Chain A
Amino acid sequence: MNPYRLAARRQRAAHRRVHGLAGWVGLLLPVLAGAAAGRLAPAPFFDPGRDVAAGLADIGGRVAVLLAAGVALAAYQAVVRGPDRGVVDLHPVDGPSWFDARLEEVARGSVPWLLAALAFVHPLGVGTAAYAVVALGLVLGWFVAVCAGVGVNTVAPALGLDPRWAPVLDGIRGPNPRLQAALLYAPGVALTVAGLAALAGTAGAAALVEGRPEAWEMLVPLVVGAGVVAAARRRAQEVVRYPVVLGEIEAAWAAREQGEEARHVYLDWVVRLVPAGWRRDLTRELRHLWRTQRGWSLAAWAFAALAALESWSGGAQVGVAGVAIVALGAVRAGAEDPPWLDAWLDLGPWRRAAARAGSVALHASPVVLGTGVGFLHGHPAPLVAAAAALVLVALLSAGVSVALRARAVPVYLPFAVLVWGVLS
Chain B
Amino acid sequence: MIEVVGVEKRFGSTTALAGVDLTVRPGELVGLLGHNGAGKSTLMKLLAGQLQPSAGTVRVGGVDVGADPGEARRRLGYVPEEPALWEYLSAREFLEFVVSVRGRGDVEAALAVTGLGADADRLVREYSQGMRRKTAIAAAVVARPPAVVLDEALNGLDPPSAVRVRDHLRELCAEGAAVLLSTHVLETVERLADRVVLMTRGRVVEDVRVAELGDGGLEALFRERIRPD
B 94-116 to A, binary, CB cutoff 8 A, 1 in contact else 0: 00011011110000000000000
A241 to B50, CA, bound (A): 9
Residues of A near B97 (CB, < 8 A) are 3, 6-7
Q: Is B48 positioned at the interface, with any CB of A under 8 Å from its CB?
A: yes
Whether A14 is near chain B, meaning CB under 8 Å from some CB there, is yes
- Are B14 and A94 touching (Cβ within 8 A)? no
Is the C-beta of A243 less than 8 angstroms from some C-beta in chain B? Answer: yes
Contact indicator per residue, chain B 62-106, by CB within 8 Å of chain A (1) or not (0): 000010011101100010100011111100010001101111000
Q: Of the candidates B14, B87, B102, which one forms a contact with A91 in the assembled complex, judged by CB atoms under 8 Å apart?
A: B102
A244 to B98, CA, bound (A): 21
Which has the most chain B C-beta neighbours within 10 Å: A243, A244, A252? A244
Which secondary structure characterizes the binding site on chain B?
Answer: mixed
Binding site for A on B (CB under 8 A): 11-14, 45, 48-52, 66, 69-71, 73-74, 78, 80, 84-89, 93, 97-98, 100-103, 123, 125, 139-140
Q: Is B86 within 8 A of A87, CB to CB?
A: yes
Count of A interface residues, CB-CB < 8 Å = 35
Q: Residue on B with the closest CB to A254?
A: B11
Asked whether, in the complex, the Cβ of B98 is within 8 Å of the Cβ of A247, the reply is no
Partner of A92, one of B48, B51, B73: B73
Q: Does A100 make an interface contact (CB < 8 A)?
A: no
A15–B88 contact, CB under 8 A? yes
How near does chain A come to B28, taking the closest CB pair, in angstroms? 23
CB distance from A244 to the nearest CB of B (A): 5
Known: A90-B48, A248-B52, A252-B12. Is A18-B123 also a contact (CB below 8 A)? Answer: yes
Judging by beta carbons under 8 Å apart, are B69 and A256 in contact? no
The answer on a CB contact under 8 Å between B84 and A90 is yes
For A244-274 the 0/1 string (1 means CB < 8 A from B) is: 1011100110111010000000000000000
Q: Does A214 contact B (CB under 8 A)?
A: no
Known pairs A247-B45, A247-B50; A90 contacts B80 (CB<8 A) = yes
A→B interface (CB under 8 Å): 1, 3-4, 6-7, 10-12, 14-15, 18, 83-84, 86-87, 89-94, 237, 240-241, 243-244, 246-248, 251-252, 254-256, 258
Contact assessment for A248 and B51 in the assembled complex, using a CB-CB cutoff below 8 Å: yes
B89 touches A7 (CB 8 A): yes
Q: If A89-B50, A90-B48, A251-B51 touch, does A244 touch B100 (CB 8 Å cutoff)?
A: no
* B42 (CB) vs chain A CBs: closest residue: A251
Distance, CA A243 to CA B49, complexed state (A) = 7
With the chains together, A90 CA to B103 CA distance in Å? 14
- List of A residues within 8 angstroms of B69 by Cβ: 240-241, 243-244
The 9 residue pairs across chains A and B that have the minimum distance between CB atoms: A86-B84, A255-B11, A247-B50, A3-B100, A11-B88, A14-B88, A92-B74, A240-B70, A255-B12
Report the bound CA distance from A240 to B51 in whole Å.
Answer: 13
- Cβ contact within 8 Å between A91 and B45: no
Bound together, the chains give a CA A388 to CA B97 distance in angstroms of: 51
Q: Contacts of B70 on A, CB cut-off 8 Å?
A: 92-93, 237, 240
Q: What is the CA–CA distance of A197 and B12 in the complex, to the nearest angstrom?
A: 41
- Indicate if the CB atoms of A244 and B101 lie closer than 8 Å: no
Cα distance A160–B71 when bound, in Å? 21
Residue of A nearest to B84 (CB): A86
Tell me, rounded to whole Å, the shortest Cβ–Cβ distance linking B95 to chain A. Answer: 11
Q: Is the CB of A87 within 8 A of B85?
A: yes
